[in-house]
Structure 1
Amino acid sequence: MTDSSRKQAAPCGAWTSPITAAVVAAGSTPLSGVLLDGADLFWLAGRASEGGRTTLLRERDGRVDELTPAPFNARTRVHEYGGGAVLAADQRVWFSNFADNRIYRVDPDGSEPVAVSEGGALRWADFVLDHAHVRLVGVREDHSAGETYPVNTLCALGADGSQMVLDQGYDFYASPRISPDGKQLVWLCWNHPRMPWEGTELWLADIAADGSLANGRLIAGGDSEAIVQPEWSPGGMLYFVSDRSGWWNLHRYEHGVVYPVCPREAEFGLPQWVFGQSMYGFASSDEIVCAYIEGGVSQLARFDTRSGALTAIATPYQDIRDLRVSGDTIAFLGGAPTIAAEVVRMDLASGRREVLARSIEQLPDVGYLSVPQTVSYPSANGRTAHAFYYPPTNADHAPLPGELPPMMVIGHGGPTGMASSTLKLATQFWTSRGIAVLDVNYGGSTGFGRAYRDLLKEQWGVVDVEDCVAGAQYLADQGLVDRERLLIRGGSAGGLTTLCALAFHDVFKAGASYYGVSDLKGLDADSHKFESHYNEYLIAPKARADAVYAERSPIKHTDKLRRPMIFFQGLDDKVVPPPQSEVMVEALRKRQVPVAYLTLEGEGHGFRKADSIVRTLEAELVFYLRVFGIAVPSNLPGVEIENLG
């Protein structure tokens, strides 16, 4: 790494960097679905070169094999977001194939996958093996009704393809788990209008001799208690994660009573956007290995169920997901500020770690990587908001004497999600060029307890915006960034935050909207079953929705947009169709506000083509440089910006 005294001074934003738009577009391999079955370790990997196909890999005795060769695509669309597409048990694997929705089995002899379900209009997810009845038990989503919403049930799938509905009547089901003795089944369910992080019910039933359920009873949860990840210990004790204390903490169900087992102001669970998430598992009947989140950062630990002792396990990771445990072996997805997401196997006895797969094989030199600082700062109405601040970092360049850097504020999507500190090249693209980044965990984000998550209730477009605005002002007040060069960008839901911040506040000097939501009412018309009532939580119940939509939709307040903006829009976008962006662009154009508009053929809601990513990222950089009067490097393309003198 170059000595700081030898760095060349250059205007912030114009630093040369090896993290080019092409490097960002080349991207990373999406990794997910970590599983353990004895000594075998499995994970899912995205194949961008094969149309985004997801394939299942297995590591055994130092050898990695692909179990789902093309054209198989190990993915499910239950709840649309999927997850829980693979089961590994007894040296066999079952997976849902995206193209035909059929479940396939892979046998130990390595033969071709064999279909075990009919697929078609039936989608499956989150299945487990019922040894006693030689069948799978999972969530079935029936789309045979056509235009109406699908029907979700808890269903068993026999080895011969026969099906038995075990429970029905709720809008959604998740997490069926069979006790070690095979005699009981536990599961989660919930109804509209709740999302699963608002309230779920935990049910327990006996499995009868014929495989049906008997003596079903509600044992925990309700409208305002969100439960995730029920699991059985090897000794047959039922554990789960509940936020009844205000935090997603571990609990145990014993003799009809629920006991908190590890009270802590930390999150041992995640919102159920997808199936199959895991934040803990059992090393033995008396020891749990868990990951929990404090202040937006993950920690790995061992928990003794007898003594109540929680003991940290040292790792270099600050973001830990998909944790699986089998005796002294654990596996997980780990990431950190200088570590892109990777599949890790760890031996608890020795502490030895082995990396089996990396999402990015070749990382830039550490001298070009910005390590974020965790910041908490005051926001509106006495709130405290949280974010990761990335200072500009480049091995070869430093700001001009007395220059403060511009800063870009980013709000994550979801909006019930969270920003993590795991290395992202898309962030480093900006910081390595001299532009600071603030990645905001605004009110409503996961990782900070139930009360913080509920701050966004009926406040989307308000609280998230206020926290982004306050974060920008806070960093400027600290003398770390240039108050006159504050930027905000976002895509989809983050685009709404961006547009609202520019329409209703006067802090940011420019912004970028990637297929941003400008008309809230339009979201209702395009929503699928899982999210069809989400806006009732985020914005307003239906009785008041129209008035609040009009109040908060930027498309109704285009007269308030006075700052330069660049819009990026896929012409095939059905979620946020082009007219939403075009109305905003035309309003700025008419009022002589600097504006640029780039459309992309063949792109929908989210850009997937490498050349689209390169084109938009470079155009966004050029836009900021020209708005701030910084010379544009000759290797960057020209961008048409209307009304810019």
Structure 2
Amino acid sequence: MSPKAAPYGTWHSPITSDAVVENAIRISSIFIDPLTSSVYHIEARPSEGGRCVIVDTNKGKDVFGPAWNARSRVQEYGGGAAIAYGGVVYFSNFGSLEVCVVDVEKGGEPVVVTPENKNHRFADFTVSPTHPNLLIAILEDHTHPSPSEVETSLVLINTSTRAVSPVVSGADFYASPRFSPDEKYLAWQQWWHPNMPWQGAEIYVAKVAVTSDGVEIWEKTLIGGVKGQVSAAYPFWISNETVIFTSDLSGYQNPWSYSTLTGKSVPVLPTPVEKDFSLPGWLLGESYSAVLEGKRVLYSVMQDGRAVLYVLDVKSGAITEVESPYVDISSTLKSTSSSVTSSFPPGIISIAQSITIKVPPNDDPVHVNYYPQTNPEYSGGVDGEKPPCVFGVHGGPTGMSNQVLSWSKQYFTSRGWAWADVNYGGSYGYGRKYIDRLQGEWGISEVRDCVLAAKHLSSSLNLIDPSRIFIRGGSSGGYTVLVAISDPPPGIPSEFKWTGATSLYGVSDLRRLGEDTHKFESQYLKGLIGGSYEEIPEVYKERSPTSHVDKIDTPLLILQGSEDAVVPPSQAELISHSLEERGKKVKYILFEGEGHGWRKAENIKTGLEAELSWYEDLIGVAKKTKM
């Protein structure tokens, strides 16, 4: 049948909300047993309430039963929830917060190996090569729950005696503890408030002696990073004497090496390259490299907003690109995307187009991933119309919208909607200078970037309908949405107006966020806003959307999880109640039991349908297309 013309936004699509949920199983982690070479992955299953299940990848078999959930709550975002060694899998159980062990070969139920303590959270494990009953892990102690009093350290877990003992403490945060192959050294990352790990983290190496029931650490050596200035990250060993890490001393995260024989750190590349060989550490346990034979390392590198595979020769510093069909490689050991295998008709997937615009006053670049409306059954719209478009604002704000397949976006594009993700100044993947553009400017520069991106796509490129544009974002992206519709910064054309907006667990009151959020981000605002609330209270008030509710005329949909510890429900309630009192067009949906995002199938479906319906109503689409 020949493609037919129909109004944009009314196209029928086989990508239903049920289909999105069915394809929403997310592989949150992949890890390999270094002794048996067995591969495991963790599946986050919406159909099971978002439970994270460890699967023996080759056998396609769950490692444990329905009573267990391999997920960490360290730094709230988690990561680093499991590790395998010698046929045994160790993992952090989300419900009890205890560390558990399961012998994969013998089978049976997991065994708890840490004391019962609802205040202790564990993640990012490394196993002793000579005494595999001993693990070093991050402990986040919430005995005193105030963010300023939560303590983070490296500890030793004796899985035989269920004892937990301190190893390294004193910094505000730790990540990536890693034994050398001969177990003579331990490497790790650490950093302090008010910095995030990508703003100035350090890598240390220390001598270590391990016995059957304990560990001793001495001669700590700083090998990379400068506190609060240069970020060093992701240490790993390629031999007994050499540890590799990345450092942004050049302005980009490039590889460095440290030798325990010489006691020196040196850049691996002969000259720096403008590519990031690692990304900001929002999650624990990440790995952007894998050791190959002959002192070579496979790296997933960010280049022009997409992932590229490189093989690095550590000895010569030569890098060779490896042909890869993938636009996003979250890690050489991890993938956050679902399978692209589907029964949908060929040609229905919208492929991202990279667009770079220049913004005044300095012609700074802003990067956009544009997804055109795509459905093989339709040839286009009617009467020369341009499609409506949703502009997505990523979280972080030190985050990035990559080009990985997202069925939620395809849900829109297959119905005749365009979609555009804005990687505003402050996004990662384009070097440290690009990230730092947001310092002191949050709520100003990224809002301007989003508006100018919308203007460019609608006016300069004539790709979308300027009278039917929507803005939506989650977390810090939700904050950007709320600022964009309440008090946009100077330089925004006076005639510009968003047709509608969606804030998913967005920030509305900056002062309260600083008081209520978790330890990891509790001082993040100092850099983003330009100081603490005590130092510049007027700026916090001025940049809070709750201070400008009277200016909001854009219809607003608010989606929020009831158990969100990153952006508490009070943030959503503050602005929704204020708008309701003023008779503004607002709709608030609270998802019970959900945190910072939706994990349950029914909530993923409800949220997606509610968002589409909200936009359809605002542009007057008479016929809903949820078939």
TM-score (norm 2): 0.90
Deviations 1:556-590 (CA, angstroms, capped at 9, x unpaired): 11232233333445677671325323245236626
SS of the residue aligned with 2:28?
A: strand
Are residues 238 and 450 of structure 1, via their aligned partners in 2, closer, same or farther at CA, if it must alter by over 3 Å? same
Give me the whole-angstrom Cα distance separating, in 2, the residues matched to 1:465 and 1:634.
31
1:536 aligns with 2:526: yes
1:128 is aligned to 126
Q: How far apart, CA to CA, are the structure 2 residues paired with 1:447 and 1:484?
A: 32
Match of 1:485 among 440, 459, 468: 468
Residues 167-223 of structure 1: CA deviation (Å, up to 9, x unaligned): 111111111111122111111111111111111111111113662111112222122
Give the secondary structure class of the aligned counterpart of 1:127: strand
Instruction: Quote the residue 2:276 is aligned against.
Output: 267
**Which residue is equivalent to 1:362?**
342
Q: Kindly, what percent of the aligned residue pairs are identical?
A: 36
Cα gap change, 1:523 to 1:214, in 2 (>3 Å): same
Counterpart-to-counterpart distance in 1, 2:170 and 2:239: 31
- Cα distance in 2 for partners of 1:265, 1:565 equals 40
Aligned to 1:280: 289
Deviations 1:621-640 (A, max 9, x none): 3433343343233879xxxx
1:77–1:8: structure 2 CA closer, same or farther, 3 Å change rule?
A: same
> 1:221 matched to which residue of 2?
225
Give matches, 1:78-93, under 5 Å: 78-93=74-89
**Which of residues 580, 583, 586 is equivalent to 1:586?**
580
- Tell me what 2:19 maps to: 23
Change (3 A) 1:600 1:95: closer
- TM superposition shift of 1:156: 1.3
Structure 2 match to 1:238: 243
Aligned residues of 1:34 and 1:323 also touching (Cα < 8 A) = no
Higher normalized contact order (CA 8 Å, seq sep 6+, divided by chain length)? 2
Greater alpha carbon shift after TM alignment, 623-632 vs 90-99: 623-632
> Which residue identity is paired with 1:375?
I
Question: What is the distance in 1 between the residues matched to 2:151 and 2:561?
Answer: 32
The residue that corresponds to 1:565 in the other structure is: 556
Out of 235, 249, 255, the position equivalent to 2:254 is: 249
Task: Give the AA of the match of 1:17.
Answer: S
- 2:253 maps to amino acid: W
- Alpha-carbon deviation of 1:264? 1.8
CA offsets per residue over residues 48-89 of structure 1, 9 Å max, x none? 2222211111134xx222112221111111122111111112
Provide the rounded CA distance (Å) in 1 between the counterparts of 2:618 and 2:448: 24
Quote the residue 1:632 is aligned against: 623
Aligned residue in 1 for 2:106: 109
Q: Secondary structure in 2 aligned to 1:225?
A: coil
With over 3 angstroms needed to count, the CA separation of the structure-2 counterparts of 1:43 and 1:619, relative to structure 1, is closer
Unaligned runs of 5+ in 2: none
Task: Give per-residue Cα distances to partners, 1:7-59, cap 9 Å, x unaligned.
Answer: 21111111111112333344511102211224311110112222221111113
Moved more, 479-488 or 201-210: 201-210
Question: Secondary structure in 2 aligned to 1:144?
Answer: coil
Question: What residue in structure 1 maps to residue 157 of structure 2?
Answer: 157
- Structure 1 residues 558 and 31 mapped into 2: Cα distance closer, same or farther (>3 Å)? same
CA distance in 2, matches of 1:312, 1:600: 46
Check conservation: 1:430, 1:437, Cα contact below 8 A: yes
One-letter code aligned to 1:57: V
**CA offsets 1:326-371 (integer angstroms, 9 cap, x no match):** xxxxxx527xxxxxx25xxxxxxxxxxxxxxx3x653532322111
Q: What code does the residue aligned with 2:554 have?
A: R
Contact 1:242 1:251 (C-alpha < 8 Å) held by counterparts: yes
* Mapped partners of 2:266, 2:625: distance in 1: 65
The root-mean-square deviation of aligned C-alpha atoms, in Å, is 2.3
* CA offsets 1:512-564 (integer angstroms, 9 cap, x no match): 23343222222122111111111112213114342112111121112322333
The one-letter code of the counterpart of 1:431 is: T
Is the deviation greater in 24-33 or in 360-369?
360-369
- The answer to whether the 8 A contact 2:201-2:232 is kept is yes
- Shift of the 307–9 alpha-carbon distance from structure 1 to 2, 3 Å rule, reads same
Cα pair 2:45 2:599 within 8 Å, conserved: no
Q: Which amino acid aligns with 1:138?
A: A
Which moves more between the two structures, 429-438 or 535-544? 535-544
Contact residue 234 and residue 285 of structure 1 kept, 8 A: no
Larger displacement relative to structure 2 (424-433 or 29-38): 29-38
Counterpart check, 1:526 vs 2:516: yes
Which residues in structure 2 correspond to 1:179-218 (within 5 Å)?
179-208=180-209, 211-218=215-222
Separation in structure 2 between the aligned mates of residue 169 and residue 317 of structure 1, nearest angstrom: 41
Matches within 5 A, 1:236-385: 236-254=241-259, 255-262=262-269, 263-324=272-333, 332-333=334-335, 341=337, 358=339, 362=342, 364-382=344-362, 383-385=364-366
For residues 96 and 153 of structure 1, the distance between their equivalents in structure 2, rounded to whole angstroms, comes to: 16
- The number of aligned residues is 597
Query: Match for residue 145 of structure 1?
Result: 144
